[in-house]
């Protein structure tokens, strides 16, 4: 059974994603700073933890900083990445060498939603049209994180298993 708290978070995410039917430009630094604001200091802190993790570790590939953000027991629900901080590092170290850390998220971030210990990032994504790969279509992606004692303890996204080629 879904709780009222979880329903509210899921409904907010659904509404945000449902409203995105057109191409969305990447948000500016100022817009992202506004997204980090919350009426609750703990929600603001949780958003900032995920925001910094995304910029520093996920986008800039500074895996040496993963221990600053991920619990050792980090639970990963993406079927292509192993659970545990070490599993994350192993999977994402293959994406390349560390880059300059930006003060904003480069991916087209649309919204940051937080409630209790959950933070959700919503992104715009462009994909090739299945029937005609010369064409593109716009959709959305989300990453949802659970914060525990100031660190990311769990992650969900809509990824499906990749096929080996």
- Which helix (H) or strand (E) segment holds residue 155: the answer is strand 151-156
Per-residue pLDDT of the chain (165 residues; tens, 9 = 90+): 456 555 555 555 554 544 444 445 668 999 999 999 999 999 999 999 999 999 999 999 999 999 999 999 999 999 999 999 999 999 999 999 999 999 999 999 999 999 999 999 999 988 899 999 999 999 899 999 999 999 999 999 998 888 776
CATH fold of 24-156, please? Nuclear Transport Factor 2; Chain: A, (3.10.450)
Give the whole-angstrom CA distance, residue 28 versus residue 133. 29
pTM, 2 dp: 0.82
Give the whole-angstrom CA distance, residue 151 versus residue 157. 18
């Amino acid at each position: 059974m879904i709780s009222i708290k979880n329903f509210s978070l899921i409904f907010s995410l659904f509404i945000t994603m449902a409203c995105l039917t057109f191409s969305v430009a990447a948000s500016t630094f100022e817009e992202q700073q506004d997204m980090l604001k919350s009426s609750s200091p703990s929600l603001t802190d949780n958003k900032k933890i995920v925001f910094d993790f995304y910029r520093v570790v996920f986008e800039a590939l500074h895996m040496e900083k993963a221990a600053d953000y991920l619990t050792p027991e980090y639970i990963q629900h993406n079927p292509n990445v192993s659970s545990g901080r070490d599993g994350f590092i192993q999977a994402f170290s293959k994406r390349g060498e560390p880059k300059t850390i930006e003060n904003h998220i480069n991916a087209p971030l649309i919204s940051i939603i937080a409630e209790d210990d959950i933070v959700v990032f919503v992104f715009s994504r462009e994909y090739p049209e299945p029937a005609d790969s010369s064409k593109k279509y716009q959709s959305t992606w989300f990453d949802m994180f659970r914060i525990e004692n100031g660190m990311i303890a769990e992650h969900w996204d809509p990824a499906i298993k990749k096929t080996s080629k």
